[in-house]
Amino acid sequence: MAEGNGQALMDLPPHECPGTGSDQAGKAAACQGCPNLGLCAAGRTAGPDPAIEEIKEKMKTVKHKILVLSGKGGVGKSTFSAHLARGLAEDETKQVAVLDIDICGPSIPKIMGLEGEQVHQSGSGWSPVYVEENLGVMSVGFLLSSPDDAVIWRGPKKNGIIKQFLRDVDWGKVDYLIVDTPPGTSDEHLSIVQYLSASSIDGAVIITTPQEVALQDVRKEISFCRKVKLPVIGVVENMSGFVCPKCKKESQIFPPTTGGAEKMCHNLNIPLLGKVPLDLHIGKSCDKGHSFLSEAPNAPATLSYRNIIQRIQDYCNHNHLQEDENT
């Protein structure tokens, strides 16, 4: 696996590729014929990026770091990231931040009601854009002159902006940093894991929908996490059934033909954090930049979100206690 190259990766089983951090990067038998051989070998001999230590210093004020991943687009990853952040920020004693590294499809500004906002620079770096006093957001969407502008960047430039977000944004003291990533397992994912490698990442929350075509890609995402030693906090199944508001009959819009996320999690020994049912008002709230949790406090989807958020908090708190004991 090479990063920052803007080329397609050779489709090798995860156990064959030694990874960019290995001494065998660019030298192993599996590397022969790979278009990334030269880049991986160069990365191996060049040594660690000095920015990693700078980012480590910057991240000392960030208590918990959570990556939100999805194997496939359109499964509600950014929607979940926004709800997770809003739910955590309901506790006014907690400072929450969202970092949107979906460089080509930055939807967080729209979902958070910040479309059209711009980044401001101060003596201490870029300032996040705030939804509330305790909820800040940073996204490449704030750097575009129009929401319709396309970001046409190769890998190195994407990696550069991620590095800049982590190193040069004045995050301040943050309890939870939620990182919304693009679909898949490519440059952006490798970069965020590499740049935060010297810091402590609590883990990843993986978003899916019930049908096999989505679960297939989630399995790849889980393989990626295991390969780069990124803990998996658990899986969230979005769009899990729809209850008609009039007749109350439940329908499976995306049938779980192979057992859905529940069976997959059981087979892979990964926690299923919860299932969020389809609700038409979720999309409407996101389009308006409003909080669905506040607008529909008693909806089944809201109750599911709150249960999932509580489980993520419990995981992070337990993880933090273990770190304290080890130090």
pLDDT tens-place string over residues 214-261: 999 999 999 999 999 999 999 999 999 887 777 767 788 888 989 999
User: Which residues sit opposite 174 in a β-bridge?
Assistant: 62
Answer CATH for 53-326 from 3.40.50.300, 3.40.50.880, 3.30.1330.10, 3.90.1150.10: 3.40.50.300
Alpha-carbon distances of 259 from 238, 267, 308, rounded to whole Å: 14, 11, 20
Rounded to whole angstroms, how far apart are CA atoms 272 and 235? 5
Predicted TM-score of the model (pTM): 0.83
Asked if residue 169 has pLDDT above 70, the reply is: yes
Rounded to whole angstroms, how far apart are CA atoms 301 and 197? 34
pLDDT tens string 102-139? 999 999 999 999 998 988 887 788 999 999 999 999 99
Please report the sign of the dihedral spanned by the C-alpha atoms of residue 40, residue 44, residue 47, residue 48: positive
Q: Residue 147: its pLDDT value, please?
A: 83
Tokens of 140: 């490449």
Worst-scoring range by mean pLDDT, 119-123, 163-167, 230-234, 274-278?
119-123
Asked if residue 56 has pLDDT above 50, the reply is: yes
Tokens of 307: 């249960």
Q: Residue 327: its pLDDT value, please?
A: 59
